[in-house]
Structures are given as C-alpha cells and as structure tokens.
Amino acid sequence: MPGISKQEDRYLRNLLVHGARSIVIRAAQKDDRLSHWSNKIRAARGFNKAVANKMARIGWAVLVNKINYQVA
C-alpha cells in the first residue's frame, strides 16, 4: 500500500494524523509493546507522523481481509 500524500484525500489524512496523535499521547503513559514501538517511531519521524502510516496499513488490512480489528 502506498503512502498517503498531501495531494490525496485531505479528510482521510487528517483522520489518520489525529488518530496517531491520540495513540502517541497515550503511549507516553503506558509500558506495553505498542507504546514502546510508537515512542521509538516518534523519536525517528516526529510527533504527527508517528503512527499514521501504521494505522493506514491496519485499516487497509482489515478492509481487504474482511476481519474485525481486535485490540490486544
């Protein structure tokens, strides 16, 4: 799946970035695998892009495979 550029759907990109911010803010307070991963990505790529790409890939996989997303 290709990345979502600034020329693509602004609304979808905006939703992904806001979702990413929510995860990154909560990750600072937790000590689990996802939090460690998001903190590492945030340090490398910056706050806004920290997990937006990961969320897009998860959403794409859920739609393509027609499965329910389960939070572990």
Q: Do 58 and 69 contact (CB within 8 A), yes or no?
A: yes
- What six digits make up the tokens of 62? 């859920």
- Nearest-10 crossing angle of helices 33-45, 10-27: 120
pTM of full prediction above 0.85 = no
- Which pLDDT tens digit goes with each residue over 44-62? 877 666 567 777 778 888 8
* Residue 4: inside a domain: no
User: What pLDDT, on the 0 to 100 scale, is given for residue 42?
Assistant: 77
* Residue 3: inside a domain: no
Question: Which residue numbers in the chain have pLDDT < 50?
Answer: 1
* Residue 71: inside a domain: no
Q: Can you give the residue range of the structural domain that contains 18?
A: 10-65
Q: How many domains does the chain have?
A: 1
Distance, CA of 22 to CA of 24 (rounded, Å)? 6
* Residue 70: inside a domain: no
* Residue 45: inside a domain: yes
